[in-house]
Amino acid sequence: MKFKQIFYFLLLAIVSSASYAQQLTRKEIAEITEKIPDLISENYVLKERSDEITSKFKNELSSKKYLSITNPDSLAKTLTKDLRAISNDKHLYVKYYQSSPEKDEFDWDAWEKEERILEIRQNFGFTEVKILPDNIGYIKIVEFMHPQRGMPTAVAAMKLVEHTDGLIIDIRDNGGGYGGLMNYVLNYYFDGGPTHISTTIYSDEEKLPDKEYSSDLVYGKLRVNTPLYIITNEKTGSAAEFFAYTLLSFGKAKIIGQPTAGAAHMNTFYPLNENFRISISTGAPINSKTNTNWENTGVIPNQIVEENAIDKAWELIKTEVSTVAVQ
């Protein structure tokens, strides 16, 4: 029993010592936090917003409240909370790493190996493809995976539903992924010459705006003028949001379900010191129809649906198909 008590106090002393060693000094906190306004001012993609964000954050700095937050995790969380409250930008946040996140230390080979395993297990994102009653197609896409490796699966999925009268694409819980497969499926709903879809602008003045166009390079029949319903939820993000927002804004689809995550911007990490990094929005896609994007607001469905979204989409699309057939 005495041995256990001694061991406990030794362990407590070691843990306490480690915790104490990890505490930040006021000087370190000042060095970390005082870099933030300049980094946002220099790198934030929307210049008209960067002045507002930096001004409000400087007010927070002037209160000196951060100087008392000596725990690294707590400081990162507090800074993130304040920055997001000021900006309403989910890509503006601070992360603390216990060890310095040097790029050279990242094992890209291991990461790609894990990615390939996941792709195979999830059928390159197309986890369910079927024909519902009344000749309505249904595709569940959990992620837009690597385009070169996943393209045959995307082609096969779209070929399977080629002769359906309408299509439901379910991207609930789809956090995004690569653009290639997303663009391929999207292209089925555009015809004629290339359509200007969006322009991505960057904070880096040397980086030219990137214009994105539709393409007629698809295998099989186009689905222009055939009913399309897309199911979304709060975990639909990034490339999946681009997919839904584009088809909605161009009048190619109707959205049902829940509003999406609202993360339109592209982010870049900048060092605050050896262990702290700040994520800043450095790129923003601007839709050519709306002249804006879904940042903060998310993609808002035509119809909010809490439960049984697939059944509801099937009912709506069946009615639309029947109406078109009568006409």
| The two structure tokens encoding residue 301 | 């469905």
Q: Which amino acid is at 113?
A: K
**Separation between Cα atoms, residue 163 and residue 11, nearest integer Å:** 68
Q: Are strands 210-213 and 196-202 parallel, antiparallel or unpaired?
A: antiparallel
Of 82, 73, 67, 79, nearest to 28 by C-alpha is: 67
Ordered structural domains, the chain, with CATH: 122-262+297-326 (3.90.226.10)
Q: What is the pLDDT of residue 7?
A: 42
Q: How far is CA 168 from the centre of its chain?
A: 21
List the one residue out of 277, 273, 274, 262 whose CA is nearest residue 232: 262
User: Do strands 303-304 and 254-257 pair parallel, antiparallel, or not at all (unpaired)?
Assistant: parallel
Q: pLDDT tens track of the chain, all 327 residues?
A: 444 444 444 444 444 444 444 899 999 999 999 999 999 999 999 988 999 999 999 999 999 999 999 999 999 999 999 999 999 998 899 999 887 666 556 677 887 888 899 999 999 999 999 999 999 999 999 999 999 999 999 999 999 999 999 999 999 999 998 999 999 999 999 998 899 999 999 999 889 999 999 998 899 999 999 999 999 999 999 999 999 999 999 999 999 999 999 989 999 999 999 999 999 999 999 999 999 999 989 999 999 999 999 999 999 999 988 776 555
Helices (H) and strands (E) in the chain, counts: 10, 11
Beta pairing partners, 130: 138
* pLDDT tens, residue by residue, 255-286: 999 999 998 999 999 999 999 999 999 999 99
